[in-house]
Amino acid sequence: MTLRDSRGEPVSTSNPDLITALEAAHEELLHYRGDPVGMIDAVLSDHPDFVMGHVFKAAVLTQAMETRIYDAMLSAVRNAESLWSGANDRERGHIRAIRQWVDGDFYSAVEAWDAVLVDHPRDLLALQLAHLSDVLLGDTVNQRDRVARVLHAWDESVPGYNFVLGFHSFGLEECGDYGRAEEAGRRAVAMDPADSYSIHAVAHVLEMMGRQEGGIRWLTSRGEDWRHGNFANHLWWHLSLYHLDLCQYDRVFEIFDRNLQSDGVSHDKYEELDAAALLWRLKLLNVDVNGRWTRLADKWAPAAEDTLYAFNDVHAMMTFAADGRADLMAKVLDANERYVRSQGDSNVAMTREVGLPFCRAIAAFAKGDYDETVDLLHPIRHCTAKLGGSHAQRDVIHLTLIEAALRSGRFKLARALVSERTDLKPSSPQNWRLAGRAFAGCQDERRAAAAKAKAQALLLTGEVIREVA
């Protein structure tokens, strides 16, 4: 028998309580809180023939991108496949997508979820999975357009509409449509203040526009809505970026030590990613992090040879390079070099085109070979989206390239790259500091002085704004 969920989508069950339990678990997932997998496991222990329960569990696990969860994900999708004959077309579409994901064909998996959405545009799980997968794959256009293709079926009368607005907000931001992105994100948060993904989408807008003080106020004023959830570490990372741009390093370290410090126990890759990305930015600025790399490197060590997701590998490499772990650096490089000679999954191309060159560049940077770093990074600077993640996350590649250009004495290249940054984000003090160094290297003292003065003026303006606020 088929019943329908709160959005009118078909679910193969005759028990309405199962739909209620599934939607409760999905609500936790959408809010990045609690234990959605544990909740659905409790349901499945009593109802092992609940197709959509197995689908939901497997689907959630696809987004972890960690080898330690692979067996659980594989078991869940096999359980769903064993119930194929009793599944409806929508559920079979999910099963196809998850199977393709498990087999490493990420792009086909996303298209399978897209096919579900064509017939079931209110399938919020399919939309969420397709959208988050687009983020993992760096498909910025579909982060916007995949959501846009279902908007005709949604309005405020449909439960979960705020989440759809949040996905659309993030996609609009990644495509540079900051005004519409901010409007959609703020509207979503007004509808549901606990919607941390939409809070995050607006934080991205403010970061990309260089509205540091606004970003600090946005996140701190809504701290009670997000700081206790499963997405908190990433939002703390975003908050730290605003302070970093304003040269408020004491505040950055305070955030890191209280909220991003790896404890060696949680095995949360997203925590490790954010911690590595923040510390590497500080390293590029020549800010002493006082041994904070060591615990993080210990935590990354078991993943040195994973080659599951290139985005993870480059952050592991940053950590090992910064902590002087030559043996682990060699393991990352060797594993990736062997991996790109293999055939098959979508991550091979991501690793070959961006991940491995960046890992090699990090190794070169760590040993002081800044010329090699530039030679490795400059050719890939326009295709970094293939690594996955967001513009804000991938900016670390561009920052590493610029710093290497400055340290290698390739000041004209640095000047060109920094001119691009100051045009895109003229309110960034750090961008103008980089410009000052580049112009000084080119012996253009007038422009160097002007850039340094601009950076100082922006910092003073920020202080005035804080004092007034």
Tokens of 8: 């009118």
For the chain, give the number of residues.
469
Short-list 288, 313, 291, 295, CA closest to 303 = 313
The region of weakest confidence among 163-177, 342-356, 364-378 is: 342-356
Question: Burial code of 271-298, b = ≥16 C-beta within 10 A, e = fewer?
Answer: bbbbbbbbbbbbbbbeeebeebbebbbe
Does the pLDDT of residue 300 top 80, yes or no? yes
C-alpha–C-alpha distance, residues 136 and 64, integer Å? 10
pLDDT by residue (tens digit) across 315-363? 999 999 999 999 999 999 999 999 998 866 788 999 999 999 999 999 9
Kindly report the three-state secondary structure assignment for every residue of 358-411: HHHHHHHHHCCCHHHHHHHHHHHCCCHHHHCCCHHHHHHHHHHHHHHHHHCCCH
Q: Residue 334's pLDDT is what?
A: 96
High-pLDDT (> 70) share of the chain, %: 96
Tokens of 347: 């991550």
What's 323's DSSP letter?
A: T
Which amino acid, residue 165?
A: L
pLDDT by residue (tens digit) across 19-45? 999 999 999 999 999 999 999 999 999
- The residue assigned the tokens 């992105």 is 181
Torsion of CA 444, 449, 450, 453, to 10 degrees: 160
Phi/psi at 4 (5° precision): -125, 145
Does the pLDDT of residue 367 top 90, yes or no? yes
Q: Residue 224's pLDDT is what?
A: 94
> pTM here?
0.95
C-alpha–C-alpha distance, residues 431 and 406, integer Å? 13
C-alpha–C-alpha distance, residues 13 and 208, integer Å? 45
pLDDT by residue (tens digit) across 410-431? 999 999 999 999 999 999 999 9
Average pLDDT, the chain: 94
Question: End-to-end alpha-carbon separation of the chain, Å?
Answer: 59
